[in-house]
Amino acid sequence: MSKVAFLFPGQGSQFIGMGKELYERESVSKRIFDEADEALETKLSSLIFEGDAEELTLTYNAQPALLTTSIAILEKFKEAGITPDFTAGHSLGEYSALVAAGAISFKDAVYAVRKRGEFMNEAVPAGEGAMAAILGMDAEALQQVTDKVTEEGNLVQLANLNCPGQIVISGTAKGVELASEQAKVNGAKRAIPLEVSGPFHSELMKPAAEKLAEVLDACELKDTNVPVISNVSADVMTEKEDIKAKLIEQLYSPVRFEETINKLIDEGVTVFIEIGPGKVLSGLVKKVNRRSKTIAVSDPETIELALQTLKEEYGNAE
């Protein structure tokens, strides 16, 4: 029987109106949005459904909004009796993956990611950090570029190893600028500055990681029900102590997404279901391995399609 992995997106996939149809039509999904409003003592759902796009993009809003929408979708899979063989997420999406795997309650997770966003926002003053996507260069060659720029006094490092030929770098604004220029000199096809509010997944996030550790201390973490592939190690994590350590380390370490997908394929996964807004991760999976089946689910129609496909082709539903 085919193995199925649930994948959960990170920042950048959010948009105004995501999850609204589910909220209006599905009681199990509505409950998640209501729980988020209660946990955060604010109308997050109103911001998600009819708020300002710029406000939603702020990291401390985008993170709980994406988690909430992803878990609201997940509830329909739980209702149908579908359990994945593995879960994984991209950066913030790792928290959704951990909720799906029973390692943390939704209530604790939504509070933790709100604080995570606040800490990330505070760690580096606006304009001092940056990120850029480097296309058409392998990790080893790009690593040499970032190491050299960092040694010369402008910190920059690999942040997201997404798929072959797509790597995001992160660090000081000057470091990212210099590394982008040097990468193009060394053969990169393009260097695209990203519209982000900080240098995520770089050493500059260590102050945020220290504060996040205190928040996670107050959360009840459990061993997982299904294996979760860690962003930091691209390997299985199942034990609560390991999960906490990895979540802290994740803030200033690269997201090894390409290796994560290869690990899941090695474990026998042939079906990847992206649970949350957008199709970013489905696209990355195809670039890692075009033979893999991907299903992106974000609304009642795509959920029904995914459930039908799983029942017909894979027998993965009760």
- Does 202 qualify as catalytic in the annotation? no
Closest by Cα among 91, 95, 88 to 67: 95
243 contact partners, CB below 8 Å, separation of at least 6: 98, 103, 104, 221, 224, 228, 237
Q: Which residue out of 45, 70, 91, 197 is catalytically annotated?
A: 91
* Rounded Cα distance, 312 and 83, in Å: 16
Q: How far, CA to CA in Å, does 47 sit from each of 23, 43, 62, 67?
A: 13, 7, 10, 14
- Determine the Cα–Cα distance for residues 15 and 10; give it in Å rounded to an integer: 12
Give residue 290's Cα distance to chain centre: 21
Is 90 known to be catalytic? no
Residues 6+ apart with CB under 8 A from 141: 186, 187
What is the distance between the alpha carbons of residues 77 and 93, in angstroms, rounded to a whole number? 17
Q: Which residue is catalytic, options 13, 70, 96, 201?
A: 201
Residues recognised as catalytic: 91, 201
